[in-house]
Chain A
Amino acid sequence: MTHIDEAPQPTKEVAPAQGREKKLPARDRATVITMVVVPLVLVVLLVWVPALLSVVLSFGKWNGFGDLDTIEWVGVQNYEDIFTIYPAFWPAVQHNLIWLGFLFIFPTILGMLLAVILDREMKGSRFYQTAFYMPVVLSLALIGFIWQLFYSRDQGLINQIFNSQVDWYGDPDINLWAVLLATAWRHTGYIMLIYLAGLKGVDASLREAAAVDGASEVKTFFHVIFPVMRPINMVVIVIVVIESLRAFDLVWVINKGRNGLEVIGALVAQNVIGEATRYGFGSALAVIMMLISSIFITLYLRTVFREERTR
């Protein structure tokens, strides 16, 4: 364990018999290569090559119809346009940030609290858990439709109860919040599930020791349980950031990401399958998304690999 830092082969410990793999017979080697290369080709062709191409295309102007030589290379002009004259961009950034903040403050913390409470011996704990994570199996697009029953101006439950005439999905001042509430319905259960799994790893004797020492519940939580959940917290942070960045389904089913519901993910799609196909411009938006997410992907991979090593 102590030499782990200079050991570049972390899986060594799993197969302690030999350090390096001994040579396999030719046929087996071919098998191993095939087993890795086929999936690898798929993921490289459909994820990594497109990711690179997005970066390349972001420096050009292209309507996507002509051949590749109809691309007019314009340097960083797309980026300049996005930051200066594209009216939807800054609202979209703001909405994505609100999305992120909201997910953190409400569903994430609520999900964590639910997990901590439901981890106790409690009557009906299974029932509560089921209720909270049932929305997790529904798609966000579907959730947009289900919540329409609350939000519809003429037929929605909220307006019927309060005798109001608010267009919850249509009014640009409030539709973002209406959407976030619907998202929270699903997100809370997901976070709860992840924390419940994490809490199973908290050593019960630690907790008992804390109880014997007379530590209060709150103290026990912050000093015993929370630190043990550190890797889970990291994972949750990454999930929340990436989900807020990816936000798309709900706004797309409601109004294709316009009129108060602009988010970066929807802007990219608008530039490809909307009326105007601006591939270069859309790619520049995509690259911005990619850059933000890559920071958090790196953080995530570091956490995961650290765990792999200490295993």
Chain B
Amino acid sequence: MTYETPVAVAPPATSKPVAPTRKEGGVLSKRRGAVATVIMALLALAWLFPLAWALINSFREYEYTQANGYLSFGGWTTSNYEQAWSQGNFGVHMRNSLLITVPAVLLTLWLSSMVAFVLARFSYRFNLALLGVFLAANLLPPQALLIPVFRMFREIPLPFFMSDSGSMLNSFWALILVNTAFQMGFCTFVLSNYMKTLPHEIYESAELDGASVWRQYWQLTMPLVRPALAALATLQVTWIYNEFFWATVLIQQGDKLPVTSALNNLRGQFFTDTNLVAAGSIIVALPVLVVFFALQKQFVSGLTLGSTKG
């Protein structure tokens, strides 16, 4: 989890009858429209600038920018990337991130979809309390739990084939489980809201056909909530890939760090080669940016699912 609070957005009360072809919030008058366009364009450029600046300078030689300053033009090279990749040991760290992110996302979606199914399918007395337990956990500051979790993980032994550290500390298992525990709240909330929009009759006829609860969940509900799962998966991949706090405190063995927490490797002891840092930053940003541009719709709808009910 990054330090973005993954909060489920409660829908405004009037959101129910949203027509699919709703007009946007009205057209601006011509003059106002022109002013707004200019301001927006300038702001948007300002917003794109930091990443663009990193991208440009990641392709420039350190010696050239030292001699001519950064406001110069030239000194193009790709060697920063080669150097960053080897010095930052990104091959290993990318693999670590992959080994943490993929299982954690799958586990989060699987576990929270089960809870969400029960919440949506049945109306037990404890439903609201149950949702509260998950949602509140989602919002607690992780630092508040650090000491017990840290100490617990140090005590829990793991067989050597699961982690060469011999305990939960310094193992991917720790990060997978912690991330899952924290992210379930948001996913449960979104998924149960989504599942509640499914007509209840489908369960009644499934029951008549003698389908067990498990089949109703796995074969009936899950295929129907695929859009929500896709959106949440996109979101969770970026969040867990970006997670910094737990990885920093639970992994102290350098070669086990996921890529987000491994960035510090690029900092020299005495000085920092900014162009090298830029190349490293672009490498780290690339996976999430690819996910973002390829699945932008999923990403946005994931964040806003709670409010528009898909």
| Chain A residues in the interface with B (C-beta under 8 A) | 8-12, 14-17, 20-21, 24, 27-28, 31-32, 35-36, 38-40, 42-51, 53-54, 57, 64, 114, 116-125, 127-128, 130-142, 145-150, 152, 155-157, 160-161, 185-186, 188-190, 193-194, 196-204, 207-208, 211, 225, 228-232, 234-235, 238-239, 242-243, 245-249, 252-253, 264-265, 268-269, 272-273, 279, 282-283, 286-287, 289-290, 293, 296-297, 300-301, 303-308, 310-311
- Is B22 touching A204 in the complex (CB atoms < 8 A)? yes
Provide the residues of chain B in CB contact with A305, threshold 8 Å.
128, 132
Kindly provide the distance from the CB of A98 to the nearest chain B CB, expressed in whole angstroms: 17
Instruction: Please state if A139 and B27 are interface contacts (CB–CB under 8 Å).
Output: no
Tell me whether B242 is interfacial, beta carbon within 8 Å: yes
Q: Which 5 A-B pairs have the closest CB atoms?
A: A139-B242, A197-B304, A201-B15, A50-B148, A53-B148
Interface centre among B137, B180, B241 (most CB of A within 10 A): B137
Which residues of A have CB within 8 Å of B241?
139
Q: How far is the CB of A43 from chain B (nearest CB, A)?
A: 5
Residue of A whose beta carbon sits closest to that of B273: A155
Inter-chain contacts of A131 with B (CB < 8 A)? 44-45, 47-48
Chain B residue numbers with a CB within 8 Å of A147 are 50
Please, which residues of chain A bring their CB within 8 A of the CB of B118? 32, 35-36
Contact, CB under 8 Å: B123 / A9: yes
Smallest CB-CB separation from B212: which chain A residue?
A: A28
Q: Which of B132-191 contact A (CB under 8 A)?
A: 132-137, 139-152, 177-178, 180-182, 184-185, 188-189
In the complex, which residues 59-101 of chain B have their Cβ closer than 8 Å to any Cβ of chain A?
A: 65-66, 69-71
Residue of B nearest to A140 (CB): B3
Shortest CB distance A23–B (Å): 12
Q: How far is the CA of A297 from the CA of B136 in the complex (A)?
A: 6
Interface residues of B in 181-235 (CB under 8 A from A): 181-182, 184-185, 188-189, 196, 200, 204, 212-214, 217
B133→A48 contact, CB < 8 A: yes
Complex CA–CA separation, A304 to B131 (angstroms): 10
The chain B residue with its CB closest to the CB of A190 is B4
**Does more than half of chain B's interface fall in helix, strand or loop, or is it mixed?**
helix
> Quick check: A279 and B3 within 8 Å, CB to CB?
no
Smallest CB separation, A251 vs chain B (Å)? 11
26 contacts between A and B (CB under 8 A): A9-B124, A11-B127, A36-B114, A39-B112, A39-B115, A40-B130, A44-B133, A51-B148, A114-B40, A132-B44, A146-B50, A150-B53, A193-B300, A202-B12, A204-B25, A207-B25, A225-B25, A243-B4, A246-B141, A248-B245, A268-B144, A268-B146, A286-B147, A289-B143, A297-B139, A300-B135
Name 8 extra pairs, CB < 8 A, besides A32-B122, A50-B149, A140-B244: A48-B137, A120-B28, A137-B291, A141-B244, A149-B53, A190-B4, A245-B141, A268-B143
Chain B hits for A200, CB < 8 A: 15, 18, 22, 304, 307-308
Q: Given the known inter-chain contacts A36-B118, A39-B115, A116-B25, please indicate yes or no for A137 contacting B10, CB distance below 8 A.
A: no
Judging by beta carbons under 8 Å apart, are B146 and A150 in contact? no
Q: How far is the CA of A227 from the CA of B307 in the complex (A)?
A: 16
B244-282 vs A, Cβ < 8 Å mask (1 yes, 0 no): 110011001000000011011010000010100110110
| Cβ B263 vs Cβ A283 within 8 A | no
Q: How far is the CA of A133 from the CA of B47 in the complex (A)?
A: 9
Query: Beyond A47-B182, A131-B47, A152-B272, is A122–B147 a contact (Cβ under 8 Å)?
Result: no
Which residues does chain A contribute within 8 Å of B238, judged by CB atoms?
137
A140: B residues at CB distance < 8 A: 2-3, 242, 244
Contact between chains at B140 and A290 (CB < 8 Å): yes
Contacts of B31 in A (CB 8 A): none
CB closest residue in chain B, given A58? B147
Q: Which chain B residues lie closer than 8 Å to A149 at the CB level?
A: 50, 53-54, 57, 274, 277-278
Chain A residue nearest to B238 in the complex (CB): A137
Most interface-central of B119, B134, B136 (chain A CB within 10 A)? B136
A300 to B118, CA, bound (A): 23
| Contacting pair B141 A54 (CB below 8 A) | no
A307 close to B11 (CB less than 8 A): yes
Determine which residue in B24, B27, B66 has the highest number of CB atoms from chain A within 10 A of its CB, and name it.
Answer: B24
Contacts of A21 in B (CB 8 A): 122-124
Q: How far is the CA of A133 from the CA of B296 in the complex (A)?
A: 10
A143 to B216, CA, bound (A): 44
In the complex, which residues of chain B have a beta carbon less than 8 angstroms from the beta carbon of A203?
Answer: 14, 17
Residues of A within 8 A of B8 (CB): 304
> Which chain B residues border A303 with CB–CB below 8 Å?
10
Query: In the complex, A139→B137 CA distance in Å?
Result: 21
In the complex, are the beta carbons of A239 and B5 less than 8 A apart?
yes
Specify the chain B residue showing the minimal Cβ separation from A138. B285
Shortest Cβ gap from B193 to chain A (Å): 8
Contacting residues, chain A, for B252 (C-beta < 8 A): 273
Q: Indicate if B7 sits at the interface (CB-CB under 8 A).
A: yes
